[in-house]
Structures are given as C-alpha cells and as structure tokens.
Amino acid sequence: MTTLLLNIKELLQTEDAPKMMVSGAEMKKLPTIKNAYLLIEDSEIRDFGSMENLPKINADETIDVSGKIVLPTWVDSHTHIVYAGNREQEFVDRINGLSYEEIANRGGGILNSAKKLQEISEEELFEQSRKRLEEVMALGTGAVEIKSGYGLTLEAELKMLRVIKRLKETYDLPIKATFLGAHAVPANYKENKEGYMNYVIDEMLPKVAEENLAEFVDIFCETGYFSVEDTDRLLEAGKKYGMIPKIHVNQFTAIGGVQSGVKHEALSVDHLEEMREEDIKILKGSKTMPVGLPSCSYFLSIPYTPARKMIDAGLPLALATDYNPGSTPSGNMNFVVATACIKMKMTPEEAINAATINGAYAMGISDTHGSICIGKKANFMITKEIPSYGFIPYSFGSNCIESVFINGKKI
Ligand code: NIG
Ligand code: FE
C-alpha cells in the first residue's frame, strides 16, 4: 500500500542522514522543504522531496494537502497517563492557598492517587487510560512513554504496568513503560523509607523484570521523597535487570540527582525547574537528555526549566507533557510547544526539535521516529490550513492539527 501526499505547503523536520538528537545552536535549525511531496509505503516513509522533482509514481492513494503543513508526530517521552480518578479538589485547595507540598504532607498528592489506584479494577484502569491515550493521539502524539508509580504496592504497580502492556498491544504507536515504584513513600512506610526502598528493589523490581513489564526505571529524587543515595541504589539495581534509568529530578530542589543520572548514564533527566551551574556542566557531553515539562510549571506556578541557559550552553533539550492527575492534568503537546516558546523563550524551531527528534532520543527511538527520513516510521501529522509553522505555538490553545498518521495509517 502506497500513499502520496502532494502540494505540502511545508514539510518539516526532513533528514537525509538520520541523527540521534540536536543540541545547542543546532536546535535553532529546522530543516524543511516548501512545496513538497511525501511518499509512504505501508508503515514507512519511502521518499520525499520538492514537488519540482516529483518522480512518476503510481500510488494507491493520493492526498492533496495544499495550504497545509506536514510534520512528524510529537514524541511525548514523559507521562503518567495510567491513573485512576482525578484530583480537582487539590487544584481548588491550591487556588485557596495550600501549596503542592502542604497537600502532599496531608496525605494528598501522589498518595491520594495511589489510594484510588489500589481500589480500581485493572479493566476500569485500562478504560480510563485508553481514553486519555486516544485524546492525545488525536492532538498529534505519535509515541509515548508511560510510568507506573501510583501503585506503591507490588500488586498495584503490576496492575499499572499490565495496563501499559495492554495499551501497547492495543495501539499502533510506540509505547515505552517505566517502572516508578519509588515515586513516593507510602503511609505504612512513613517512618521507614529504607524499608520501602528494600521492598521496591527486592520485591517489586524482580517481579517487574520477570514479567518483562518495563524498559526503564525511574525515581522521584527530591527533598522529602527519595535521596541521591536512594537514586544510586535503585538505578544500580535496575541496571542488573537491563532497565535503563530515567529520573524525576530538580523539580523543587537541586540535591545532586542530575549528577547521579549522568553517572548511571540515564537516558534522560526530567523536570529540571531548578538548575545550578554544576548541573548544566555535568550534562554537557553526556549521553543524558535533559527534559523540560512546561505544562507542569504552568499548572503548579513553579519556575520553568531554564531552556535558554541550557541550550545556549550547548545542551540538547527535549519537551514532554508529564500528563498526570496532580501536577499536569493535560497531555496536549501543542500546548507544551507553545508554552516553551512563550514562557521559556525557545524559538519555534527549537521547540519543534525538542518535541520530535529530542523526545525520540529520550524514548530511545530516534532511529525510527522523530523526523521525516526515508526508512523511518510514517508517523506524521497534517495541520489545518495555517500561514506558517510558527502559527502552531503562536495560536496557543487552538488546535492546528487536522489529521494524524501512525505507521502510515490515518487514525
Ligand atoms: O512528574 N513529581 C513527581 N511526580 C509527578 C507528579 C505526581 C503527582 O502529583 O501526582 C510529576 O510532576
Ligand atoms: Fe512526571
């Protein structure tokens, strides 16, 4: 089956030689072809180029996309979309003056979600989660990482991870699962964090590995949650099972978690609202992708990841949603890209790079996703008729995406 898109106003993120990511000044460059064609064969990109050089092709299907822009689908490398219920009461509590920390200390926050998750059936959890996944796919997300971490018991963590597995089996987009058992210390271990870490490492981790339920291992390395020592210990243990590290780090305080991530060759370090010079320095030349989550900063009114400082220092940066019931009840990557431009002073080119190829790196899939490149998966989207790609972040809050293709098929 071949599909030919003709008269594309502008085809974005085209690559002749595939690269794994872009960093520093390179992020300002977004390769594009104006007045382009794109040829899809089955699930892959077969050819693309300028309409002037269009070869004679007998495609099974031809689509005229005059006036519309085509770009690779967004890669959302950080989400918690498998969760039970919502937390809008905490949202109201915050409006009325309580802080995220105060709510957590009263048994709200992650522990509130864990209680709901422990009570829900696997079937119902799947149903709630699939709706969110379908919603974000329609908004242009064509690859997604999903974390556990609202279970906090062996049974409930496995329930979450099995739901992620079922989502993988049900949908065509790449999904990567992350084991985040060390997301918060549950109430029954309140005075015994070490006991909970032992439970995560000695009982949860082996079971998760045995059932092959997670590619990545993650921990919330933060004051009041888990220390750098806990992080070192968990990442070390995860690696024995072949799980690649990712960390929630520097969200509220900088305590050395970035250094731990780099030491363990974490694929990404995520949040980074609080960045010290030494954190930027250690990331330079490392294999670890820094990931900013601007919707979280927006929703919690906390600082934004200092993108300008980081990119100007030569670092790469990826952008993701953090879709979760507490700090970011939104999975809209278009909003992430817009907020990165508006609040983090990233250019549209930088933001699009961060949300496609660099997101793909942070998911370990940049050899197959994140750009328009011959042989890569045909995961792309067609915009409505818009004047330029800068219009996508400019018209924040509007949906510019008309249709989304996953593995060459329109969803
Ligand atoms: O990435 N920071 C840690 N975890 C989530 C939020 C958890 C929650 O409030 O439910 C995050 O922001
Ligand atoms: Fe998160």
Q: Residues 345-370: pLDDT tens digits? A: 999 999 999 999 999 999 999 999 99
Q: Residue 107: what pLDDT?
A: 84
The CATH number assigned to the domain with range 2-72+368-410 reads 2.30.40.10
Taking the CA of 299 as reference, the closest ligand is: 1
Q: Residue 106: what pLDDT?
A: 86
Calpha distance 6→323 (Å, rounded): 35
Q: Residue 227: what pLDDT?
A: 98
Q: Residue 344: what pLDDT?
A: 98
Specify the ligand 1 atom closest to the Cα of 100.
9
C-beta of 294 in contact with ligand 1 (< 6 A):
no
Give, for ligand 1, the residue of 110, 113, 296, 297 to mutate: max count of ligand atoms closer than 8 Å to Cβ.
110
Question: Which of 365, 354, 225 minimizes the C-alpha distance to 291?
Answer: 354
Sign of CA dihedral 269, 177, 325, 379: positive
Match domain 75-363 to its CATH number in 3.20.20.140, 3.40.109.10, 3.40.50.2000, 3.40.50.720. 3.20.20.140
Classify each residue of 218-240 as buried b or exposed e, where b means 16 or more C-beta atoms within 10 Å of its C-beta.
Answer: bbbbbeebbbbebbbbbbebbee
Going from the Cα of 76 to the center of ligand 2, the distance in angstroms, rounded, reads 12
The answer to whether 260 and 235 have CB atoms below 8 angstroms apart is: yes
Specify the ligand 1 atom closest to the Cα of 83.
10
Specify the ligand 1 atom closest to the Cα of 251.
2
Tallying the residues shown for the chain, one arrives at 411
DSSP-derived letter for residue 14 is: B
Specify the ligand 1 atom closest to the Cα of 296.
12
Q: How confident is the model at residue 389 (pLDDT cuts 50, 70, 90)?
A: very high
Query: Which residue's alpha carbon is nearest to atom 6 within ligand 1?
Result: 327
From 94-103, 199-208, 285-294, the region with the lowest mean pLDDT: 94-103
Q: Residue 273: what pLDDT?
A: 98
| Residues 267-294 pLDDT 10s | 999 999 999 999 999 999 999 999 999 9
The domain limits of the chain are: 2-72+368-410, 75-363
The answer to whether 290 and 21 have CB atoms below 8 angstroms apart is: no
Cβ contacts of 110 within 8 Å, gap of 6 or more = 104, 149, 150, 152, 183, 184, 326
| Amino acid (one-letter) located at 380 | F
| Residues 137-181 pLDDT 10s | 999 999 999 999 999 999 999 999 999 999 999 999 999 999 999
Task: Give the pair of three-digit tokens for residue 397.
Answer: 């809050």
Cβ contacts of 28 within 8 Å, gap of 6 or more = 347, 349, 350
Q: Residue 348: what pLDDT?
A: 98
| Amino acid (one-letter) located at 261 | G
C-beta of 370 in contact with ligand 1 (< 6 A):
no
Give, for ligand 1, the residue of 180, 220, 299, 302 to mutate: max count of ligand atoms closer than 8 Å to Cβ.
220
C-beta of 290 in contact with ligand 1 (< 6 A):
no
Going from the Cα of 324 to the center of ligand 1, the distance in angstroms, rounded, reads 7
C-beta of 263 in contact with ligand 1 (< 6 A):
no
The answer to whether 189 and 196 have CB atoms below 8 angstroms apart is: yes
Calpha distance 208→318 (Å, rounded): 27
User: What is the percentage of the chain residues whose pLDDT exceeds 70?
Assistant: 100
Q: Residue 198: what pLDDT?
A: 98
Question: Which of 379, 334, 385, 352 minimizes the C-alpha distance to 65?
Answer: 385
Going from the Cα of 325 to the center of ligand 1, the distance in angstroms, rounded, reads 8
Specify the ligand 1 atom closest to the Cα of 325.
10
| Residues 115-144 pLDDT 10s | 999 999 999 999 999 999 999 999 999 999
Going from the Cα of 361 to the center of ligand 2, the distance in angstroms, rounded, reads 17
Q: How confident is the model at residue 105 (pLDDT cuts 50, 70, 90)?
A: confident
110 phi and psi, to 5 degrees? -60, -40
Residue 73 has a CB neighbour count (10 Å cut-off) of 28
Question: Which of 281, 259, 255 minimizes the C-alpha distance to 269?
Answer: 259
Mean pLDDT of the chain: 97
Question: Which of 128, 105, 19 minimizes the C-alpha distance to 353?
Answer: 19
Sheet with 74-76, strands from edge to edge, namely: 74-76, 141-147, 175-182, 216-221, 244-249, 268-271, 289-292, 318-319
Task: Give the pair of three-digit tokens for residue 403.
Answer: 């249709």
Q: Residue 264: what pLDDT?
A: 97
Q: How far, in Å, are 220, 290, 291, 337, 410 from residue 258 at the CA level? A: 12, 9, 12, 24, 39
| Residues 25-68 pLDDT 10s | 999 999 999 999 999 999 999 999 999 999 999 999 999 999 99
Whether the predicted pLDDT of 98 surpasses 90: yes
Instruction: Express the helix, strand and coil content of the chain in percent, nearest 5 each.
Output: 40, 25, 40
C-beta of 325 in contact with ligand 1 (< 6 A):
yes
Going from the Cα of 139 to the center of ligand 1, the distance in angstroms, rounded, reads 22
Give SS3 for 307. helix
52 phi and psi, to 5 degrees? -65, -30
